[in-house]
Structure 1
Amino acid sequence: MSSVEEAKIATGQSTNGTTEKSVQKSEPPELPTPDPLNPFHFPDFALPTGIMFNGAPVMKCPVKDDSLTHVQKIRALDMRAEDILITAYPKCGTHWVAEILHMLTSGTSEHNRRTKEYTMLEFCDDLSFLDTLTSPRVLNSHLVMAHLPTQIVDKNVKLVHVIRGPKDTAVSMYHHLKQSASDQFTFDNFIKGYVTGEYIVFSHQFEYLRQMAQFERAHPDQPIMHVHYEDLKQDPSSVIHELSQFIGRPASPAFCHEVASACGFSNMKKADADRTMPESLTKLRTSKLHLYRKGIVGDWKNQFTVAQNEMFDEFLAQQKQKGFGFEPKGHV
């Protein structure tokens, strides 16, 4: 070997003129120990509390009281006959319907300056705040009926139940939770955990739909309007007109169209940037949650892989055997 070649090897340069990196053995990175209670890496706030009340699991409420105490207070909350309560599984369009009802009850197409969390029962840090609101109050909640005020039945409160296709709901929920989760919380992990119903505090969508159907069967005289997200996307003015009739605030076709335009996705997203959020929530986050992503029907096709879709279809088949409760209009 020539002295030139020896020099090249010594400096890490190959004999054919290219530079080679020195090979160094390194230990593989140490992976975090898997959490047996959270193997799919769901964000902490979404995990089950392990607390039961009135036959249903208690969700984590971001309020000053412990979650069980807060839910018990909600159960005993004074309701008014004029109240309107939006009930929906998360990520089914609660913000959208809340804004529409705000406009119908106020008689204006101006956006609410507050986020719907101010009147979201499980997020309302001081429930006495609700007493300061004028009627008709537009309240909302993701809680199951077993945790909502008993006076809903006593006062014959109007319920607006929002339903969305299960695959779009799942995709929207994943992106919502992902904002507070680690990089290990992948969509594949989300689907695996979601279909079990064991790793998310409010279980999966069909558990919610079944308990809602059970409530309706037990209270056939309760005024309930079921709003499908897909119908609201396809013909918003017609659904808004039906809502106005249901809440006893008949609106003209022109005003319904005006509300539909003001509550379009881009306008809602723009308005949300200037809304105020309850202090109890702002303390929990250094940045604001992005609540509006795409708002389209069928976006699940852009997210699911073939294998994930097959897994979810098997889950849907199992749920259909148990009974959906309500038949969603999305892909089932």
Structure 2
Amino acid sequence: MSTRAEEGMRAGFSLKLTMFEDMVVPCGIIPILSSFRTREVRDDDIFLCTYPKSGTHWTWEILNMIVKGEAKYTEHWLGSSYIDQRNEDVIDAIASPRILTTHMIPRILPRAIWERKCRIINVQRNPKDVAVSYFFQSTNQNWMNESAGPSFTGSWDNFLDAFIKGNIPNDSAFDHTLSWNKVPGDYPDVPFLQLHYEDLKKNAVKVVKQLAEFILHPLPDKVYEEIAEACGFTKLKHAHTCLKTPMFSTPWKEGSPGHFRKGETGDWKHWFTVAQSERFDRIYQQKFHRTFPY
């Protein structure tokens, strides 16, 4: 019987996938995940926990600006803080307070996060928009191996089917959301903030202030406005393309839009057929016991 990782590769992933504790993950991160739970953390670490394509780069840049106290871009890409793929020596070299990112679910993370009660921020996004954005990233970016072609070479139909089944890198978006929704009940003493990509789009200044207060770095209102403006889609895309060092970035296919494709909400409507949308809604309702809210 095939594993879900094998099914994902048959759907069109050229990236080698495998199972890790019932999750579909890239083979290349297994050495890191194998010792993940015992990794050390610092009391003032801030963990940004997201499913891919849910506003990770956006929120990470905002958090770093808040810590700096000014609208100044980080030197490196977000990849420098990505604990799922970085060795401990790279992460240890980051100055405190560290803004660390992960796409893993709570039970996979270092146990010390919960013991030390580190601050955790979870950002969620309309999973239909996530599916479209993830498809574009997978078909345009070369993961893990610079000499390889795109990570996914199948069709949109094949990708969406794998996405719904969770047969893709980082597993099911549905299960990821459900796992993070349980954190307040499972770890009531751990500082936890849950945000939504759509709220950032509607009122970025308000969310920047919310983030600053949550990580105990309040700033003047003017700075919130400056950070929100600097992290607007066009300016942040320019910064990532022209201002940051190439270290920790992963190569994209020539001519592709990179991490910053559109930054919109509702783009899924241009890609989902009626039948695909209805199927997606049914699966969502089965898992969440509510109608699709977006």
Q: TM class, shorter-chain normalised?
A: 0.7 to 0.9
> Letter of the aligned partner of 1:195 in structure 2?
I
Cα distance in 2 for residues equivalent to 1:129 and 1:308: 42
Q: Which amino acid aligns with 2:216?
A: G
Give 5+ residue unaligned stretches, structure 1.
1-34
Partner residue of 1:86 out of 48, 63, 80: 48
Query: Considering only aligned residues, what root-mean-square deviation do their CA atoms show, in Å?
Result: 2.4
1:187 corresponds to which residue?
Answer: 156
* Cα shift at 1:76: 1.6
* Alignment size in residue pairs: 278
Corresponding letter in the other structure for 1:200: I
The within-5 A match list for 1:150-299 is: 150-179=111-140, 180-181=150-151, 183=153, 185-197=154-166, 199-274=167-242, 275-278=244-247, 290-299=258-267
TM-score when scaled to structure 2?
A: 0.86
Q: Name the residue aligned to 2:25.
A: 59
Give the share of equivalent positions with the same residue, in percent. 30
Q: Which has the larger radius of gyration?
A: 1
Equivalent-residue separation in structure 2 for 1:58 and 1:76 (angstroms): 21
Cα distance 1:147–1:98, how it changes in 2: closer, same or farther (>3 A)? same
Cα gap change, 1:203 to 1:36, in 2 (>3 Å): closer
> Residue 192 of structure 1 aligns to which amino acid in structure 2?
D
Q: Contact 2:15 / 2:152 at 8 angstroms: preserved in 1?
A: no
Query: How far does the alpha carbon of each residue in 1:171-217 deviate from its partner, in whole angstroms, 9 at most, with x for none?
Result: 1111111112465x1211111222122x2132221101122233332
Secondary structure (helix, strand or coil) at the match of 1:160 reads strand
Could you tell me whether the CA contact under 8 Å between 2:83 and 2:91 is conserved in 1?
no
* Aligned residue in 2 for 1:23: none
Q: Give the whole-Å Cα distance in 1 for the aligned partners of 2:24 and 2:276.
A: 29
SS of the aligned residue for 2:49 comes to strand
Cα displacement (A) at 1:72: 3.1
Task: Decide which moves more: 150-159 or 310-319.
Answer: 310-319
Q: Which of 39, 42, 47 is the matching residue for 2:13?
A: 42
SS for the counterpart of 1:50 is strand
SS of 2:84's partner is helix
Aligned-pair distance for 1:102?
0.5
CA deviations over 1:212-237 (Å, ceiling 9, x no partner)? 23333221111011111000000000
- Residue 271 (structure 2) pairs with residue 300 (structure 1): no
Please say which of residues 159-168 and 203-212 is displaced more in the overlay.
203-212
**Normalising by the residue count of structure 1, what TM-score does the alignment of the two structures yield?**
0.77
* Cα displacement (A) at 1:60: 2.2
Deviant stretches of 4+, over 3 Å = 35-39, 284-289
CA distance in 1, matches of 2:91, 2:151: 32
The answer to whether 1:72 aligns with 2:34 is yes
Structure 2 vs 1, CA of residues 61 and 103 (structure 1 numbering), >3 Å: closer, same or farther? farther
**Which consecutive unaligned segments of at least 5 residues does structure 2 have?**
1-5, 141-149
Measure the CA separation in 2 of the matches of 1:131 and 1:224: 23
